[in-house]
Structure 1
Amino acid sequence: MARRASRYSREREKCSGREPPDMGFKTDIEIAREAKKQPIQQIGAKLDIPSEALLPYGHDKAKVGQEFINSLDDRPNGKLILVTAINPTPAGEGKTTTTVGLGDGLNRIGKRAAICIREASLGPNFGMKGGAAGGGHAQVVPMEDMNLHFTGDFHAITAAHNLLSAMIDNHIYWGNELGIDERRVTWRRVIDMNDRALRDVVTALGGVANGFPRQTGFDITVASEVMAILCLAADLDDLQSRLGDMIVAYTRDRAPIYCRDIKADGAMTVLLKDAMQPNLVQTLENNPAFVHGGPFANIAHGCNSVIATKTALKLADYVVTEAGFGADLGAEKFMNIKCRKAGLAPDAVVIVATVRAMKMNGGVAKADLGAENVAAVEAGCANLGRHIKNVKGFGVPVVVGINHFAGDTEAEIAAVKAYVAEQGAEAILCKHWADGGAGAEELARKVVELADSGVAEFTTLYPDEMPLFEKIEAVAKGIYHAGEVTADKKVRDQLTAWEEAGYGHLPVCMAKTQYSFSTDPNERGAPEGHTIPVREVRLSAGAGFVVAICGEIMTMPGLPRVPASENIRLNEDSLIEGLF
């Protein structure tokens, strides 16, 4: 029992930040396992998806067929609701949990609603962050499947990416007709696991038969440009075109080599044919959930697929989607990349915050979060206020969802509500973790009011024609409140070269720590005047953005000292335990 208590405490803290409860309470995975799931055809019927348009993966999950999706083009769109959050803290915020709870809440008040979230990466599941299915009584099921292999989409993306890697090296081995400079092969390999030992490696050792040795490395699959392309492509034709546009290497005279030059785009599209179709599952309350794609928001654009979002908008009156990590990363990229590229515009935004996180931003240590501290809450609200101001700058109405924790006091909750009111918005207490959709009804009504008001006048942060470095500065100064952006001559020259090559119109994707507005993960609150160092830039020509890598952010994470995988096992009944 002691082992179970320890695991339960960590699951709660990671998924929702609650204090360890009495042993009579159930873990997230136990709640999910007891769900009364409906056959996936019944879930599809709630959105008028005919059974023949569903490609089942078992009884409780299915892919939605492309032919059916194509038939929806002439339908009007529903309202698009974005759920984002403050900067994540060890205290827990619960953005996905709130997304699921809000979707259930909208259905409870009689609205036809669906949610759109991302698939989970195995790396964080076995590392520190945990899964991506929500928590408590606001979860997507089947939770175990979604947090592990699911429908195989990530495996397909990994295979397609690494097929290209193999074909590049094979082309060089068999004579290098394209004249690729082996020192300038920019295409790395990927694996969907946190493995720091693979960040920098040397391949092709062992003699002539194994090819030409060169230094390369691995990124995590969710950082792959193939993942970003799948999440931004409109259909299979668009997917193959974007794959062909990827730059994988350069010649000695710096001419780009594209994926289509290697003739890999066709085979990669074949591997991604099924992965391109959105996945349909359900919440604990049997409401439809589209779960598709999974780019990280700290090193990629952090949103679920365009095809899933657009499909949901044609089928539901209200679509609740999320963007990863805090609003400075996920929401900014949702607005400036996903919405810009897909022609979408949110009708309302929910910013998730917690009393505990406000206290941590106010300087309270995690061990002391159980004690009431109104002054710390008030001090920490600056982080929330920065996010409110930033999101409003995109011309979209905002409501704050306070994800309730058992230890929150009335005075602390009142302090958050009062602060938010001063920012010209409203904060609503949400208890979906404990009560499911019933605990999010008030938030649902407010979201409907904002979305139906017609006050949204969505605008992006910068125009397409702005120079690339100025776009980086626009995000750093406008969203992060930095004083300056630094980059050496090599980085600036590279941006200029891309502009001259015709890529200057692309948006920028900032790769930065999720824990702070600065590049220092320990700097909480709302820092101003700091410096954002850009150490590297990468062109994702197929996805359609330029990545600016800032500070010490890694595109291949490592496992923590005590990874979650140590507590994941099968019990005596062959049921999974330890996932959270």
Structure 2
Amino acid sequence: MAFTDLSIASAATIQPILEIAEQAGITKDALELYGNFKAKINVDQLPPVQKLGQVVLVTAISPTPAGEGKSTVTVGLADAFKQLKESVAVALREPSLGPVMGVKGGATGGGFAQVLPMEDINLHFTGDIHAITSANNALAALIDNHLHQNNVLNIDPRRITWKRVLDMNDRALRQVTIGLGGPGQGIPRQDGFDITVASEIMAVLCLATSLPDLKERLAQMVIGYTYDREPVTVRDLEAEGALTLLLKEAFKPNLVQTIEGTPAIIHGGPFANIAHGCNSLIATNTARRVADIVVTEAGFGADLGAEKFMHIKSRKGDFNPDAVVIVATVRALKMHGGVAKDQLKEANADAVKRGMVNLAKHVDTIQQFGIEPVVALNRFAGDSEEELATVLEWAQQQGVAIALTEVWEKGGQGGLVLAKLVKQELQRPKNFQLLYKEEDSIEDKLRTIVQKVYGGADIQLSDLAQKQLVELKKFGWDSLPICMAKTQYSLSDQPKLLGRPKGFTITIREIMPKLGAGFLVCLTGDIMTMPGLPKKPAALSMDVTESGQAVGLF
């Protein structure tokens, strides 16, 4: 019988979470238990430390349907460090039910490099995302109630920017009309839904440093504009207290474990193609308090998650990654070299060679931040020796550190070479630098990202974006960092343009201020903040046995 992620996770021996906490130096009084194998951490109860741990950021090449296994490598690398007797923890994002029930899958790694309990984490976990959904929709209800109850803030119903959310891919909810049915049913207006992980509240929770900071960030969120085109915030509605109350438990990071018993802190889950793609700042810093090395990830390729990790999370958290790993696979490189998905089983070293340009660009991007990355060549069963040798030889010629990685099959043992290379990089001095300053103009920040990170030629602003640019400058919001909402599949804003396209222009169709999160979301191409389900959703293969065991969960 072929192994699946679920069968491997189900057969694994899971330790009581109190034992994992003790290993990490977390005392029982700093925990809130969610059964025997999950707990929330009361960060204020942790003892002070003299030095915070180093951060290893795991990113990847531009993803393809062939898969890269970034989360798997992240978990496997942490387990490898544990096998090397290092003090280590892994910090990950929480899965969204949208991709779990859709096509992408969960976010707990795979094979023998997973976090447990896999089934719980990929479904409801400790309810954090549900709490964010409730807080977001409570605010939406308060806004519409304010309109109904005489609208003393003079809010223009046509200019409300706050949307409702649902943690599911549901394209039918992208555009809706609410308030129909007569005067008692509210004020009719157009509205829409985003997926919960695209909510600004998710970004706020992931970037807040304390409960008071969370409340202040929530208060700063813009929900719309008055008839006089002045911004209206949550503070104006006096709703920040209620929102904080709904989020106070969700704000605490979650402690679980890998298959090999490495402490895993999982918290927050913004997408990287429509948000900033990193787990919470408080989770990463909590992991740094309990371990000397923290392995964390940022969503999708280095052009998305890693860029935002540097320019948003690092900037807000006042720390830099001490090492960066770029995950690549032969299968994905073949797709970037022009091979169709249904032909990937055939060996094709020439296509791998053509696809190397994508890996080369992501290496170049990380180097621009002053860090020499380590490439993790994540091995799949069908990879030929010639194909693997093509990637290894390229890295040697370019002077790029690379490790053949087999953590899916072998767990931490399959990541020992990678861990040793990363450890060497952790010991080297860094010259970390950001690519733009906050005080740069919005146009210059956008152009910097497009030219230096994507390898494009220029930007083009839609008529709407140009109008919004004037408004942003008027309100003094133009000094915020940029959070690009872009397709993950291409360095450009055209999903089918694989490899390393050049000479392209990125079209910015809309710029949305997120004052609570502290950045400007710039929508490009056809990117949507409410995804849809595929023709055959993963949910159709899921079931549960009479004894309550999950079936078909990857």
TM-score normalised by the chain length of structure 2: 0.99
1:140 lines up with 2:83 in the alignment: no
Does the aligned pair in 1 maintain the 2:29–2:45 contact within 8 Å? no
Distance in 2 (alpha carbons) for counterparts of 1:62 and 1:272? 16
Q: How far did 1:67 drift? A: 1.8
- One-letter code of the match for 2:229? R
1:479 corresponds, among 447, 453, 475, to 453
Alignment of 1:443-522 (within 5 A): 443-454=418-429, 456-522=430-496
Question: How many Å apart are 1:166 and its aligned residue?
Answer: 0.4
Does residue 171 (structure 1) correspond to residue 149 (structure 2)? The answer is no
Contact 2:111–2:408 (CA under 8 A) maintained in structure 1: yes
Q: Distance in 2 between matches of 1:25 and 1:197?
A: 37
CA displacement at 1:192 relative to structure 2: 0.3
Alpha-carbon shift at residue 540 of structure 1 (Å) = 0.2
Q: Is the 8 A contact 2:462 2:510 kept in 1?
A: no
SS of aligned partner of 1:503: coil
Alignment of 1:80-479 (within 5 A): 80-454=55-429, 456-479=430-453
Tell me if structure 2 keeps the 8 A contact 1:347–1:397.
Answer: no
Of 553, 569, 576, the residue aligned with 2:527 is 553
Residue number in structure 2 paired with 1:20? none
Distance in 2 (alpha carbons) for counterparts of 1:41 and 1:78: 22
Residue 476 of structure 2: SS of its match in structure 1? helix
Q: Secondary structure at the match of 2:540?
A: helix
Say if 2:38 is the partner of 1:61.
Answer: yes
The CA deviation string for residues 18-55 of structure 1, in whole angstroms up to 9 with x for no partner, is xxxxxx22211111011111110110111100011110
Q: Which of 505, 524, 533 does residue 498 from structure 2 map onto?
A: 524
**Does the CA contact (< 8 Å) of 1:81 and 1:349 recur in 2?**
yes
- Report the AA paired with residue 33 of structure 1: S
RMSD: 1.0
Asked if structure 1 preserves the Cα contact closer than 8 Å seen for 2:156 and 2:225, the reply is: yes
- Does the CA-based 8 Å contact 1:385-1:420 persist in structure 2? no
What is the distance in 1 between the residues matched to 2:424 and 2:135?
44
Q: Aligned partners of 1:35 and 1:287: how far apart in 2?
A: 13
Cα shift at 1:407: 1.2
In the alignment, does 2:514 pair up with 1:537? no
Cα distance in 1 between the residues matched to 2:44 and 2:521: 34
Shift of 1:370: 1.6
> Counterpart amino acid of 2:36?
H
* C-alpha displacement of 1:175: 0.5
Deviations for 1:57-77, whole angstroms, at most 9, x for unmatched residues?
0100100003224x43x5311
Select between 356-365 and 569-578 the one with higher mean Cα deviation: 569-578
Secondary structure of 2:24's counterpart equals coil
Conserved 8 A contact 1:467-1:499: no
Report the alpha carbon displacement of residue 326 of structure 1 after superposing the two structures with TM.
Answer: 0.7
1:41 is the counterpart of 2:36? no
Distance 1:162 1:367 in 2: 42
Structure 2 distance, partners of 1:481, 1:372, is 29
**Matching residue's letter, 1:458:** F
Q: Which secondary structure state, in structure 2, belongs to the residue aligned with residue 77 of structure 1? A: coil
CA distance in 2, matches of 1:414, 1:45: 43
Match for 1:567: what amino acid?
S
Answer yes or no: is the 8 Å Cα contact 2:401–2:421 preserved in 1: no
Q: Specify the SS of the correspondent of 1:82.
A: strand
SS of the counterpart of 1:332? helix
Contact 2:468/2:510 (8 A) holds in 1: no
- Structure 2's unaligned 5+ residue stretches are none
TM-score normalised over the length of structure 1: 0.94
Does the CA contact (< 8 Å) of 1:468 and 1:499 recur in 2? no
Q: What is the deviation of 1:409? A: 1.6
Q: Distance in 2 between matches of 1:457 and 1:46?
A: 33
The answer as to whether partners of 1:462 and 1:471 remain within 8 angstroms in 2 is yes
- Aligned-pair CA distance for 1:406: 1.0
Any idea what SS the aligned residue of 2:124 has? coil
- 1:540 and 1:472 map into 2 onto residues whose CA distance is 16
The alignment partner of 1:440 has SS state of helix
> What is the alpha-carbon distance in structure 1 between the residues aligned to residue 85 and residue 473 of structure 2?
50
Distance 1:249 1:91 in 2: 41
CA distance in 2, matches of 1:25, 1:399: 31
> For the residues of structure 2 that align with 1:48 and 1:554, how far apart are their CA atoms?
42
Q: Aligned equivalents of 2:349 and 2:99: distance in 1?
A: 33
Per-residue deviation at 1:500?
A: 3.0
Secondary structure, in 3 states, of the residue corresponding to 1:444?
Answer: helix
Letter in 1 for 2:496: N
| Alpha-carbon distance in 1 for matches of 2:123, 2:229 | 41
Partner Cα separation in structure 1 for residue 417 and residue 255 of structure 2:
27
5+ unaligned residues in a row in structure 1: which ranges?
1-23
Contact 2:43–2:286 (8 Å) recurs in 1: no
Q: Which amino acid aligns with 1:376?
A: A
In structure 1, give the amino acid aligned to 2:195.
I
Q: 1:52 aligns with which of 12, 26, 29?
A: 29
CA distance in 2, matches of 1:393, 1:404: 27
The aligned amino acid for 2:92 is: I
Answering whether residue 545 of structure 2 is matched by residue 571 of structure 1, we say: yes
Tell me, in whole angstroms, the C-alpha distance in 1 between the residues paired with 2:336 and 2:58.
21
Q: For 1:147, give the aligned amino acid.
A: N
TM-superposed deviation, 1:538 = 0.4
Task: Using the TM superposition, name which of 148-157 and 483-492 deviates more.
Answer: 483-492
| 2:105 counterpart SS class | coil
Q: Which runs of 4+ in 1 moved over 6 A?
A: none
Deviation at 1:463, TM superposition (A): 0.6
In structure 2, give the amino acid aligned to 1:466: D
CA distance in 1, matches of 2:138, 2:432: 40
**Secondary structure, aligned partner of 1:350:** strand
